[in-house]
Amino acid sequence: MTGARVARPDPAFWAGKRVLVTGHSGFKGAWATLWLARMGAEVTGISLPPESDRALFARVDMAARCRSWFCDIRDRAILGTFVADADPQIVLHMAAQPLVRRSVADPLLTFSSNVMGTANLLDALRGARDLSVVLAVTSDKVYANSDRGEAFGEDAALGGHDPYSGSKAATEHVAHSFDMTYFRPRGVRLATARAGNVIGGGDAAEDRIIPDCVRALEAGTPLVLRHPEAVRPWQHVLDCLSGYLLYAEHLAGAGVGAAPRALNFGPEASDMLPVGEVVELFYAGYGTRADVRVERPERSIEMKTLMLDPAEALRILGWRCSLGQRDAVVWTADWYRRVAETGDALAATLDQIDAFTAG
């Protein structure tokens, strides 16, 4: 850990709460589900099945820790049935098509999942009788990025150079309109969370740097990088989720309209690493040498620099990344090395949750 003690989620707040997590089979969703269950929450998860048996969800007995439903959030009828059954008090909405290059290949899937999927969920939640908080997770990529290296604050213009970014910016507008029309009048707090690039154990998605490192190691092939000089707001999954949970706690205690409708979660600009250095640190932490090949695409829509200004999260929640970027990479490498040695992903995950909350 680096720096002074920062705020942590309060287990007493979450114990016994009925929490709906959408996207619980995804990387962040699985970590969130395990952490919430660890604090005594009654968790219901709704998502598509995991895409890989290497994903954290598939490596642990998630059915023992939550009620788990598989459905496509684009199907309003089935989604509504599951939401009604969950009868949530708090909702963490993370279900999405989260990959930039997949969005370029299939923009209609991306917009329908991210925009209409969110609209379907919010529409279904209009009938939830005990609902108090909805936190919709969007992305650091919602901002109109001119690639000048500025750190975006929450009031910066929304935009999007690619279908993923555009869909998440549109999701912000969907959330705001549902808030103003339906939720705020009945006292429900709805807000969005914009987080930077998240790393940690159990991520199996395509086109993400740590899973790509792991796949290259397992295959014995070089890791192919497109932009080793690109800078991203890397943070460990536990730092990111800590922000989400603290935000939900704050929303629950705030008067309607008193809490911010959006917050950034990411490292400070002084703690930023390029892709190439992240790769070197991960391989060193795993105990091997990096074997890297650079293949630059003829045309790229990816920004060279992406930074968030998290000052408001610190001011309002007392939140900041307590793991520096280097420590975040080391924790991630430790998780993968331990699971490779023991095969016990659940123990590795719960031990890191416990270490993080105690730190």
Q: Which residues, in sequence order, are bridge partners of residue 69?
A: 46
Cα distances from 4 to residues 10, 196, 270, 320, in angstroms, run: 18, 22, 17, 10
Mean pLDDT of the chain: 92
pLDDT tens digit sequence for 281-335: 999 999 998 889 888 776 665 556 678 899 999 999 999 999 999 999 999 999 9
Is 89 a residue whose pLDDT tops 70?
yes
Q: Average pLDDT of 201-219?
A: 92
pLDDT tens digit sequence for 101-119: 899 999 999 999 999 999 9
Instruction: For 161, list phi and psi in degrees, rounded to 5.
Output: -85, -15
**The pLDDT value given to residue 1:** 41
Its pTM stands at 0.94
Is 219 a residue whose pLDDT tops 80?
yes
Is 268 a residue whose pLDDT tops 90?
no
What Rg, from alpha-carbon coordinates, does the chain have? 19
What's the start-to-end Cα distance of the chain, in Å? 7
- 65 and 37 Cβ atoms separated by less than 8 Å: yes
Is 4 a residue whose pLDDT tops 70?
no
Q: Can you list the alpha helix ranges (DSSP code H) found in the chain?
A: 11-14, 27-38, 56-59, 76-86, 100-105, 107-111, 117-125, 163-178, 209-219, 237-253, 275-286, 311-317, 325-342, 345-358
The percentage of residues in the chain with a pLDDT greater than 90, rounded to a whole number, is 79
What is the CATH code of the structural domain delimited by 14-358? 3.40.50.720
Residue of 173, 193, 168 whose CA lies nearest to 111: 168
Max mean pLDDT among 105-109, 149-153, 193-197 falls in: 105-109
pLDDT tens digit sequence for 30-63: 999 999 999 999 999 999 999 889 999 999 989 8
Distance (Å, rounded) from C-alpha 141 to C-alpha 300? Answer: 15
